[in-house]
Structure 1
Amino acid sequence: MSKHNREFKLAVAKLARYHSSLELSRQFGVSSRQIRYWSSVFQLHGEGSFLHHGKPYSSHFKIHALKSMQKNNWSLSYSCAYFDLSSPSVLFQWRFLYSREGTLRLIPRKKGRPRMNHDSSHQKPSEQMTEKELREELEYLRAENAVLKKLEALAQAKKKKIKRRL
């Protein structure tokens, strides 16, 4: 989520045509570099600027942006303004990942922690399980039992300690 909304960016970019970025920076509390970036995006895209409707960006788009930047010898800032990206750091990150790990790393991935697969309500009956699956389940249940016994022992030790104090 952007710190500044689209309307604010458009207004500041329009003002940047008539005022210096340093003057606007002091007035609005935004870095002059950011104002120059917004101004270049506005010059390239006009009223349709700052929409960012391509999120999450496909790997084809990322590669196209990187190759266009290299082919035309554009700077990070100009390339991001040309492709209407939220900031040059986005393209910088793509370039870094592409140089280290190639095109596979540019494929969008799901964020967050993966779901756990141990759902006891959907287990197969023991008659349908292979010997390996039965052994794995036995190991899991033994470990779970050991943890519960240890927890119970700790709870009892805590109770004894409290009784001794009284």
Structure 2
Amino acid sequence: MAKYDESFKLRVIRQCLRDDISQGEVARQYGVDVSTIRQWLATYRQHGVSGLRKKYSHHSAAFKREVLERMWRDGLSQRQAAALFDIRERSAIGRWERQYHSGGLTALEPQRKGRRPMSKKPPSPPLPDKERSQEALLKELAYLRAENAYLKKLDALIQAEQDVARGKKRKSSRD
């Protein structure tokens, strides 16, 4: 999804507010979907220029429920409710409505994102080589040899690319 800055949105809105040009014509002129322009206009009419600025927010379950109840009570569309409550994400209200119908108020609780916290237990120190089994040592040796071969091959490829970039041609070992 394309991101538009505040000045671009304001320029598009001012163009739309002129009487001699339709929203569809403005949409084609700027290469923006007409529904996006309608959303910007509704937000602009409700909140002015500040409604066009980027906004990062997390909404509580109570706020989400309030938005849904107001939308249902007053017969508002999702676009109208988004403009009224200054919700910038286009699909948020539809998602909240689906969540509410599938799981009630608890489904509206904000979801935790990100990584799980690290465990409190520190990792155990590696065993000294004397205490490790021969099988474990051989497995590690095979891994390290493969890693070494990989790095050598990578270095050779990088060197070959640099030589080609400088105009040199390397002789193949197959010749």
TM-score range, shorter chain: 0.5 to 0.7
Alignment partners' CA distance in 1, 2:94 and 2:79:
10
The one-letter code matched in structure 2 to 1:3 is K
Q: What is the Cα deviation at residue 111 of structure 1?
A: 1.2
Which runs of 5 or more residues in structure 2 are unaligned? 127-132, 146-175
TM-score by length of 2: 0.65
Where is the helix percentage greater, Structure 1 or Structure 2?
1
Aligned residues: percent identity?
28
Q: What is the Cα deviation at residue 150 of structure 1?
A: 6.5
How many residue pairs get aligned? The number is: 135
Change (3 A) 1:149 1:56: farther
- Is contact 2:55-2:88 (8 Å) kept? no
Alignment partners' CA distance in 2, 1:150 and 1:82:
68
Deviation beyond 4 Å, 4+ runs, structure 1:
51-54, 148-151, 156-159
- Is contact 1:21-1:33 (8 Å) kept? no
The one-letter code matched in structure 1 to 2:79 is S
The one-letter code matched in structure 2 to 1:73 is G
Give the aligned partner of residue 3 of structure 1.
Answer: 3
The aligned runs of 1:21-32 (5 Å cut-off) are 21-32=23-34
Q: Pick from 88, 103, 106: which aligns with 1:104?
A: 106
Q: Pick from 44, 62, 65: which aligns with 1:63?
A: 65
What value does the CA root-mean-square deviation take over the aligned residues? Answer: 2.9
Q: Pick from 72, 76, 80: which aligns with 2:82?
A: 80
TM-score by length of 1: 0.68
